Amino acid sequence: MDDAPIGIFDSGVGGLTVARAIGDQLPRESLHYIGDTLHSPYGPKPIADVRRYSLEVLDTLVEQGVKMLVIACNTASAAVLRDARERYDVPVIEVIGPAVRTAIATSRSGRIGVIGTEGTIGSGAYQDMLGIAPGVQVFTAACPRFVEFVEAGVTDSPELLAVAEEYLRPLREARVDTLVLGCTHYPFLEGAISYVMGPEVTLVSSDSETAKDVYRELVGRDLLAGPTARPHHVYEATGADTDTFTALANRLLGREVRDVRLVRTGAIDLPTIR
């Protein structure tokens, strides 16, 4: 048993979809969430920068005593997964593996689409993991403006639908039967994405799948919060404008995320990756 919080992070509000799913499935757990709003968005940035920012946030969470790390961001997962598992003693959960497993189990035709940020799609992480499954064909599309819409709190505008039509057209033409929402911001756009793709295409998002991994890992390692645990949720952001983060989190989650605190992540020394 361990009453320490679960550390969760994303570049902004997207990871709150994962935090929400973890909170729903594990209501006795304390959560410590950091949105790296100072460096958001991660998607268009070079992978080496995303790696540095991500490890800075993860170090901060570990220094604050979390019992588990959840990288609730696909771009960061693609950039740091291997480093993170070697760097920390606590278990590290990421979002790509759970979505890949579910997509493979869901697809009937083997024609699987993946959408994500430029960083995630460019990293080839989904293509590599899905591509080794027998009978699977992978079709991808980067959707850079989707994160902008979510961070602006826009989930239902005609402009969003027009952009979605354009981004998703190649995947419709490829007749995918399953579409992985490979960015934790995208569950907020499920309505628009499903409207464009049509009801026969199954959307797979990492939030609930990742929460199942968190559950499994906590039980397996005997790390669940004890029976007398008093859960508390801490939300922090690295960008100065914590009010905007709070307002957006409330708008998107439909429930209160109070008292978002400002946090500074420390600079770290990293060998350059080749």
Give min distance, CB of 54 to ligand DGL, in A: 11
Contact present, 229 and 30 (Cβ < 8 Å): yes
Active site residue 143: no
Token look-up 């060998």 returns 271
Residues shown for the chain:
274
Binding letters toward ligand DGL, positions 69-98, x by CB under 6 A = ----xxx-----------------------
183 is catalytic: yes
Residue of 90, 112, 183, 248 marked catalytic:
183
What are 140's strand-pairing partners? 114
Please report how the helices 96-106 and 206-220 are oriented relative to each other, as an axis angle in degrees rounded to 10. 110
The answer to whether 205 and 113 are in contact (CB under 8 A) is: no
Stretch that binds ligand DGL, among 6-14, 121-129, 234-242, 255-263 (CB under 6 A): 6-14
Dihedral (CA of 121, 211, 151, 175) sign: positive
Q: Which is nearer to ligand DGL, 111 or 185 (CB)?
A: 185
Name the one range near ligand DGL by CB under 6 A: 68-76, 207-215, 225-233, 256-264: 68-76
The rounded distance, in Å, linking the Cα atoms of 119 and 247 is: 27
Q: Tell me which residues in 136-195 interact with ligand DGL (CB under 6 A).
A: 147, 183-185
Are 10 and 16 a contacting pair, CB within 8 Å?
yes
The number of residues that bind ligand DGL (CB under 6 A) is 17
**Contact pattern for ligand DGL over residues 233 through 272, marking x by CB under 6 A:** ----------------------------------------
Those residues with Cβ within 8 angstroms of residue 5's Cβ, 6 or more apart along the chain or in another chain = 29, 30, 31, 32, 65, 66, 67, 232, 234
**Interface with ligand DGL (CB under 6 A):** 10-12, 14, 40-43, 73-75, 117, 120, 147, 183-185
